[in-house]
Amino acid sequence: MKRSVKILSFLALSVILFWSLSNSPQKNTHYDRHQLSKPFPTSHQELITPIPETLNLNIQKVHLGELLFHDKNLSHNNTLSCASCHNLQKGGGDGLAQPVTASLQKINLPHHTVFNSPTIFNVGFNFVQGWEGKTKTLEQQTAIPLFNPFEMGNKNWSSILNYLNQIPHYKQQFQNIYASTMSSEQVIDVISEFSRSLTTPNSPFDLYLKGQLNSLTHYELEGYQLFKNRGCISCHHGVNIGGNLFQKAGIFAPIHPQNEYSPQLFKVPTLRNIALTAPYFHDGSVDSLKEAINLMAKHQLKLELPADENKKILAFLQTLTGQYQNQPLSHE
Ligand code: HEC
Ligand code: HEC
């Protein structure tokens, strides 16, 4: 009798041990973007998936990256930080059609497209970065503004590293994380890790997807049905409701005035937090979301949307505003 109790409790313990091991969090501290690209969903699944509530990130890197993201001394004349154009209080953009430095670009490159600052929220879910997807990774994208003469304008890494090495708490934190001499790769790594942490889960629509069916009104749900039935979802889908394929802007007719320098193919932009990220499109040419919806219907789908359908889709898009650090995102 005693013996069988022992065997039974041994078996029970093994089961518990096996269960807890197989459920233990993943070892890698890096967040793996491939985890998020699900296979093409079957018919009973939704084409849009909720933003995960937890990410596998290195918290020390995130905290240091956050400081650097907001540090204007990382620009050549100490006037711009990443946050100047990717303001976390402005939906992760700058609220401007074109960045503050755009006029400089226009003077120097008269025929060149000046891009609107895209939101920094949820960039970790994009398959490539930038409106045209010119950078393949967040790390590559992070390096560009540091040296772009129309952005943070540094000439080389040594000015950046010299500055960071002068600040004892930066130096200490790099040392704590990497235990080696500070390098450009480390700077890129911590800023990129912070950018990956900028996710906005638990929008009303995500809560709906996760089973809280009453988090959307009937009207908003009708908007979601239209978003699917009218075909918006054919381009705007996946966890970022965009960010996972290239498409033309203007399938049936150009949306924007064209010249030989006009970009043709764009990464379909995310629609997450879209109510907060006006003005719209790669050139920031459209101020109202209502207008952007009509233009999309007309130029991408050859549809004249009736006013009530536009309103319902608008109501649905407004349910895509999520939370950052457990607070709903809002205008400042
Ligand atoms: C002067 C304004 C400005 C500054 C400063 C700036 N950015 Fe940007 N950012 C932009 C613009 C404009 C784009 C779009 C570029 C393109 O499409 O080629 C962009 C694109 C991005 C993207 C891609 C987003 C997407 O959805 O494709 C990321 C990520 C990003 N920036 C991160 C950063 C980081 C990190 C810093 C600081 C090291 C920074 N940016 C500094 C204006 C700025
Ligand atoms: C054929 C693919 C396609 C379809 C269908 C489509 N879109 Fe888009 N959408 C895009 C592309 C590409 C852009 C970027 C265009 C640009 O910046 O010039 C975009 C941009 C947008 C924007 C602006 C995003 C921003 O950050 O500036 C909104 C809003 C939008 N789409 C909503 C919709 C709605 C609503 C529908 C359905 C009525 C729809 N889209 C259908 C491809 C598509």
For range 272-295, the mean pLDDT: 97
CA triple 96-146-140, angle to 5 deg: 100
Determine the length of the chain. 332
List the domain range (segments joined by +) for residue 324: 204-328
Asked whether residue 227 is assigned to any structural domain, the reply reads yes
Residue 146 CB less than 6 A away from ligand 1: yes
pLDDT at 9 over 60: no
Centre of ligand 1 to C-alpha 2, Å, is 68
Rounded CA-CA distance 95/288 in Å is 12
Rounded CA-CA distance 85/96 in Å is 9
CATH number of the structural domain spanning residue 153 = 1.10.760.10
Centre of ligand 2 to C-alpha 289, Å, is 11
pLDDT at 18: 43
What's this model's pTM, rounded to 2 decimal places?
Answer: 0.89
Write down which residue in 146, 163, 197 finishes a domain: 197
Write down which residue in 197, 222, 256 finishes a domain: 197
Asked whether residue 159 is assigned to any structural domain, the reply reads yes
| Whether 319 contacts 216, CB under 8 Å | yes
**Per-residue pLDDT tens over the stretch 52-92:** 999 999 999 999 999 999 999 999 999 999 999 999 999 99
Asked whether residue 149 is assigned to any structural domain, the reply reads yes
Asked whether residue 14 is assigned to any structural domain, the reply reads no
What percent of the chain is predicted at pLDDT more than 70? 86
Question: Considering every ligand atom, which ligand is closest to the CA of 286?
Answer: 2
Asked whether residue 279 is assigned to any structural domain, the reply reads yes
140 and 70 fall within a common domain: yes
pLDDT at 327: 95
64 and 184 fall within a common domain: yes
Asked whether residue 48 is assigned to any structural domain, the reply reads no
Catalytic (active site) residue 151: yes
Asked whether residue 246 is assigned to any structural domain, the reply reads yes
Domain tally, the chain:
2
Write down which residue in 137, 165, 197 finishes a domain: 197
pLDDT at 2: 52
